Structure 1
Amino acid sequence: MSRPDRFEIEAAGQLGHVFVSKVQSGPLPARPAVVLIHGIGVSHRYLRRLHGLLAETGDTYSIDLPGFGGTPRPRRALSVADHATYILGALEQLGVLESVIVGHSMGSQFALEAALQQPGRISQLVMMGPVVDSKRRSVLQQALALGRDSLLFESPSSNALVFTDYLRCGPTWYLKNLRVMMDYRTEERISGVAVPVLVMRGANDPVASADWCRRLAGRAARALLLEIEGAGHVVQHNRAADVAEAILDFAGTHATAREASRENPA
């Protein structure tokens, strides 16, 4: 795959980067665009493997949100809703009016909120390693789970990507956004999502536990739960092929069902 094109886009008064891989249109309709959203403190870099695999079959977009990666830092920490507004605005500028949106960790909150803000533009929602477990809603509990994950279940390359991005983010900005993440009630907000949801976790992930993900999926109107064996929290990097296959299967199944319902209305 060739290197994605990088676009610097201002939307909702904020500046971010969007990395775009577009495929040549062929005789068959292209699959819906897939949009990848990173979590707290990090950037598109730990989504690169997944981006590359998805880009083999369709248009794929990875976003560095305002204040993360190499983007300018806003004057204040943005809310989850602010980030969702930026995502939708940036995609609109790129002509992406319908997509499968995929968020990892705190990115799952941003993706969820985007699906709530403009449900007509999100065909499916994928939440990888979603946060924050409603039974472990303290910073200490989350920090211990993340430390356990990095020590026991992550590869050297995933740890290197995450920790170097954390350094670039800096402790002050990280902590400001941590409060935003901790205050967002994912388990309450997901009940308002109308589109199909895939909740995905690495089977060894101590951050997004099996119990939490089951409870979260149970709150959605239409949801599937999938575990990827042999992976921790950064499942999209260490099991990129499995995650890409799961996303494409999920999106394809529901796209087929959606087309069938249009052709055969009740």
Structure 2
Amino acid sequence: MTAEIVQRRIGRLNVRETGPPDAPPVVLVQGLGLSGAYLVPLARRLAAAHRVLVPDLPGLGRTPRPPRPMGVTGLAGALATWLDAARLHRVALVGHSIGAQVAAVVAANAPARVDRLVLAAPNGDPDARAPWHQALDLLRDAPREAPSLVPLAVADYLHAGPWRMWRTLRTSARLDLAGYLRRVQAPALAVRGEHDPLVSEEWIRTIAGLLPAGAALTVPGAPHGIAYTAAADLAAHLIPFLRQDQPVCPTSWTSQPLPSGSVKDRNVS
């Protein structure tokens, strides 16, 4: 049975929600320029054991635009404020792409609020840090994604505004991500897709090394849009990691062989 998605306003943000209301909460944080719509396949797969919330950050999706473009730390502040409005006192945060930076800043600044942290396809790789370099890599990544992601992303990008997206991307390139990662206290997992041109294997291992309780994982066959195109494979790894009654051992998190067939044929629904 497909988990129902409910949209409503909580505080100042539009939110998609699914899963049992009394289950441990998981908050999904979207990438640059995107609404939470593309995270729905992942949310549905996590909903059996979690209350999953996907807020549209300021200026994205159905949440109104702020007067000026927001950088990573501004978006993190908006997310932290929203956690108060939603009365979410302790959550698991799953950030994708630039949303991984946003989630990391929240986890570093409010360690008592975050009990698990997932950084999926985290940008900031020194080999692809310049904004123009990241833009080119996104174009290279597009043919590897599920075909349905491209029109969804284009519509969201146009709504968010290319100039605002560019300003946010520039701030992400200047963020002292290493400084924030060292302050994260929650068990954390850095995940990349095997075919992600923006995030190298070396980069996620570097991230895991900076985190006090970090682990690295590469998902075979997955592209940058791992939270959409490879939602089923990503969820299969996240479900045991997010279990609050299980200890987290970094050495236990290794990639597993995938069934035959392409990622984008298997995972999007």
TM-score by length of 1: 0.87
Identical-residue share of aligned pairs (%): 33
Which one of 108, 116, 123 corresponds to residue 124 of structure 1? Answer: 116
Q: Is there any run of 5+ residues in structure 2 with no aligned partner, and where?
A: 249-269
Q: Secondary structure at the match of 1:236?
A: coil
Which sits farther off after the overlay, 86-95 or 128-137? 86-95
Q: Residue in 1 aligned with 2:191?
A: 200
Contact residue 132 and residue 185 of structure 1 kept, 8 A: no
| CA–CA separation in structure 2 for the residues paired with 1:168 and 1:57 | 33
| CA–CA separation in structure 2 for the residues paired with 1:137 and 1:240 | 25
Residue 217 of structure 2 corresponds to residue 189 of structure 1? no
Q: How many residues align?
A: 247
Q: Residue in 1 aligned with 2:36?
A: 44
Tell me the CA shift for residue 24 of structure 1: 6.0
Cα distance change, pair 150–175 in 1 and its aligned pair in 2 (3 A): same
Tell me the CA shift for residue 2 of structure 1: 4.8
Tell me the CA shift for residue 161 of structure 1: 1.9
Once superposed, what is the RMSD of the aligned Cα atoms? 1.8
| CA–CA separation in structure 2 for the residues paired with 1:121 and 1:255 | 17
Which sits farther off after the overlay, 221-230 or 80-89? 80-89
Tell me the CA shift for residue 80 of structure 1: 2.0
Which one of 148, 160, 176 corresponds to residue 167 of structure 2? Answer: 176
Cα distance change, pair 93–24 in 1 and its aligned pair in 2 (3 A): closer
Deviations 1:24-52 (A, max 9, x none): 65xxxx4x211100011111111010011
Contact residue 10 and residue 86 of structure 2 kept, 8 A: no
Residue 74 of structure 2 corresponds to residue 82 of structure 1? yes
Tell me the CA shift for residue 58 of structure 1: 1.8
Moved segments of 4+, more than 3 Å: none
TM-score by length of 2: 0.86
Tell me the CA shift for residue 160 of structure 1: 2.1
Deviations 1:226-253 (A, max 9, x none): 111111000111121121121111122x
Which one of 3, 13, 20 corresponds to residue 23 of structure 1? Answer: 20
Tell me the CA shift for residue 168 of structure 1: 1.6
| CA–CA separation in structure 1 for the residues paired with 2:119 and 2:89 | 20
Cα distance change, pair 9–218 in 1 and its aligned pair in 2 (3 A): same
